[in-house]
Amino acid sequence: MSQDAVIQYAVNGAVFYGKHLAKNTSFKKILAFGVSGNEKKHKITPIYIDETEFYRELSDVESFISFNEDNIDEYYVREILKESTDYEKETSEIVREAAILHEDLRNYGNVKETEKPLIVSGILLALREMECKNFSVQELTGDTIKTDGQKIFDAIASNLQRANVSPEVKKAKIISQFSFMKDTPKLNEIDNRLGETPLRYFAEYLYRTIYKSIRFSRSAEDLIGRFYGEFMSYSGGDGQSLGIILTPKHITQLFCDLADLKPTDVVFDPCCGTAGFLIAAMHDMLGKTSAQDTMRQLSIRQTQLHGIELRPDMFTIATTNMILRGDGKSNLINEDFIKQDAYKLQLKQATVGMMNPPYSQGSKQNPHLYEMAFVEHLLDSLVAGARAIVIVPQSCMTGKTREEQSIKENILKHHTLEGVISLSKDTFYGVGTIPCIAVFTAGQPHPAEKICKFINFTNDGYKVAPHIGLVETEAAKDKKRHLLDVWFDKIEAETKFCVKTTVKASDEWLHSFYFFDDELPTEADFLKTIGDYLTFEFSMTMQGRESLFEEGKEDA
């Protein structure tokens, strides 16, 4: 802490002033920052100092977003107190509750894997009828004339009618998915171990654990989707074999940020799964409206969110999800997106497309099922100038087959590639797919001189936690802010993070393809390289001598 050190070194100066404040003011917990460099290449080091003048250097950050009014409490709990944040506790509880419910469904319900998430979503719809005095968990008595499943089924039907789900054929499709609950004996008979029917037990459990979280929270968390994913992981379900990979919450929120959603946007997800993107978009757009603008809020819920889902069970879960979020008229259809007429889909006037298409379904025999074929069809289905954001395996950005290469060429003829963001291999934890996010502008041919951004976002601030999965670390908000600042040209970045370049269809649309190291090597780098080379030469020389020695022995 000499005078020269305090003057010449940013961290020393920050500690000096922090200690002074701790000693001479009423502030007892202080965060000081040593900052050096420029906007392209810089170093920001936080230091925590308490009233005893004890100080601790914390991990470097890219920006100050973790220290604003909304985030600083979370940063303090996680980084300084080293305790779990509310979100982490919530995530671990979801995993724990899903594990308990999965075990109970297996032990008491004797239902198929695909029926488990339907029981969850169906009971949640029935519980919604309690607000209208049209359903009560206490009425689930195990009656053999009108079973508990029939009572839940009737409440589901009433709630779909109350939610104005139309046309009738769509409502009939949804309600048919829940019919197994009415007459499955194991679900409707009183279980001696429980002292009640399994359906009543599940209803009590869901009301106690997640119903209020979904119904009365404006969170963008897709809780039903999370339960579905947990069920699949516990039961070794068929999700991955069918190409179903549910999108984590931090990615659905990132899509909204990259799209820079406005309250007037119309959002379309043609492979909507459990409706994670639509929930995130609704949450984002509603948050950008004033409390007084009730007409815009109603429009967002009823007319500005559209989705397509092929699988009837997933379609039912998605519709349930949207209804539970207060979506007065769920604009979802149970169809095969790839068979839909793109010009008819344009009538939805969608200004933003979001998609996580089925993975690994395409082949030379079925080129229309390649991920890039879904991307092209989405782009063709949006209005000119719309933003399209997709998450796909990195492998499909390389155009590894002739058919995929042709699709890439066709995309550039009619649409504009804005850039591609390479993601962490753990983004879809447990699946084994390394994804990337691609951003396009629809209906505008790609100019040859267009500069695109290719970003390496593999270090995203998320980690894999045992028994929980992917969780946010203290660095996640900061790294996301840096990504968005670079994406929207608020700051420049080194080429190891972002490369800006023109593209051709034959290129591999990934950061790793365009990246070159533009930093001069340091003396330490130089000495290490020389050392590695000498070690290699010595090794090869010794191998040669051993070989000659062995040959000499054979000659002798």
- Give pLDDT tens digits for 28-73: 889 999 999 877 678 899 999 988 878 889 988 888 888 988 888 8
Which of 19-28, 311-320, 425-434, 483-492 has the highest average model confidence (pLDDT)? Answer: 483-492
29 in any annotated domain: yes
Q: Would 289 be classed as within a structural domain? A: no
C-alpha to C-alpha distance for 30 and 49, rounded to whole angstroms: 5
Instruction: Print the domain residue range for 535.
Output: 523-556
* Cβ–Cβ under 8 Å, residues 213 and 78: no
How many whole angstroms separate alpha carbon 162 and alpha carbon 158? 6
pLDDT-derived band at 91, boundaries 50, 70, 90: low
Phi, psi (rounded to 5 degrees) for 390: -135, 150
Q: Check residue 236 and give its pLDDT.
A: 47
- In this predicted model, which residue has the larger pLDDT, 133 or 532? 133
Work out the pLDDT band at 242, boundaries 50, 70, 90: very low
The confidence score (pLDDT) of residue 374 equals: 96
Percent of the chain clearing pLDDT 70 (strictly above): 87
Q: How confident is the model at residue 209 (pLDDT cuts 50, 70, 90)?
A: confident
Lowest average pLDDT, out of 83-92, 252-261, 276-285, 534-543, goes to 83-92
pLDDT at site 237: 46
Decide if 352 is inside a domain: no
Last residue of a domain, one of 60, 75, 102: 60
**Average pLDDT rounded to a whole number, residues 210-215:** 68
Q: Which residue has the tokens 């054929």?
A: 169
CA-based torsion, 162, 163, 164, 170: positive or negative: negative
**Higher model confidence: residue 95 or residue 215?**
95
> Which of 14-18, 45-49, 50-54, 197-201 has the least mean pLDDT?
50-54
When pLDDT is averaged across residues 538-554 and rounded to a whole number, the result is: 57
Please provide residue 404's backbone torsions phi and psi, each rounded to the nearest 5 degrees: -70, -35
Q: Which of 42, 60, 78 is the last residue of a domain?
A: 60
pLDDT digits (tens, 9 = 90+) for 408-458: 999 999 999 999 999 999 998 877 789 999 999 999 999 999 999 999 999
In this prediction, residue 555 carries a pLDDT of 53
Structure confidence at residue 346 (pLDDT): 95
129 located within any domain: no
pLDDT (mean) for 397-403:
87
Indicate the residue among 60, 85, 102 that finishes a domain.
Answer: 60
**pLDDT(401) > 90:** no
Specify whether the CB–CB gap between 248 and 388 falls below 8 A.
no
User: Please, what is the angle between helix 148-162 and helix 198-206, to 10°?
Assistant: 40
- Biggest alpha carbon distance in the chain? 101
Q: What integer pLDDT is reported at residue 176 of this predicted model? A: 93
The answer to whether position 16 is within a domain reads yes
Confidence of residue 189 (pLDDT cuts 50, 70, 90): very high
- 113-117, 142-146, 329-333, range with greatest mean pLDDT: 142-146
- Residue 250: what are its φ and ψ, rounded to 5°? -65, -25
Q: How many domains does the chain have?
A: 2
| Least trusted range by pLDDT, from 95-109, 383-397, 418-432 | 95-109
**Can you give the pLDDT at residue 240?**
46
The pLDDT, as a whole number, for residue 115 is 85
Closest to 123 (Cα-Cα) out of 21, 198, 42: 198
pLDDT of 322 over the 50 cut = yes
> What pTM does this model have?
0.77
* Mean pLDDT score of the chain: 86
Hey, what are 128's tokens?
Answer: 């919604």
Report yes or no: 24 and 45 within 8 Å, Cβ to Cβ.
no
Q: What is the spatial distance between Cα 308 and Cα 267, in angstroms, rounded to a whole number?
A: 12
Whether 54 maps to a domain, the answer reads: yes
Distance (Å, whole) CA 404 – CA 234 = 35
pLDDT digits (tens, 9 = 90+) for 290-319: 888 989 999 999 899 999 999 988 899 888
Query: What integer pLDDT is reported at residue 412 of this predicted model?
Result: 97
Q: Is residue 279 part of a domain?
A: no
pLDDT at 344 over 60: yes
Q: Name the band, by pLDDT with cuts 50, 70 and 90, for residue 232.
A: low
For residue 147, name the pLDDT band (cuts at 50, 70, 90). very high
Question: What secondary structure letter does DSSP report for 382?
Answer: S
Is 536 part of any domain? yes
**pLDDT at residue 100 tops 70:** yes
Mean pLDDT, residues 124-131 taken together: 90
Band of residue 207 on the pLDDT scale cut at 50, 70, 90: confident
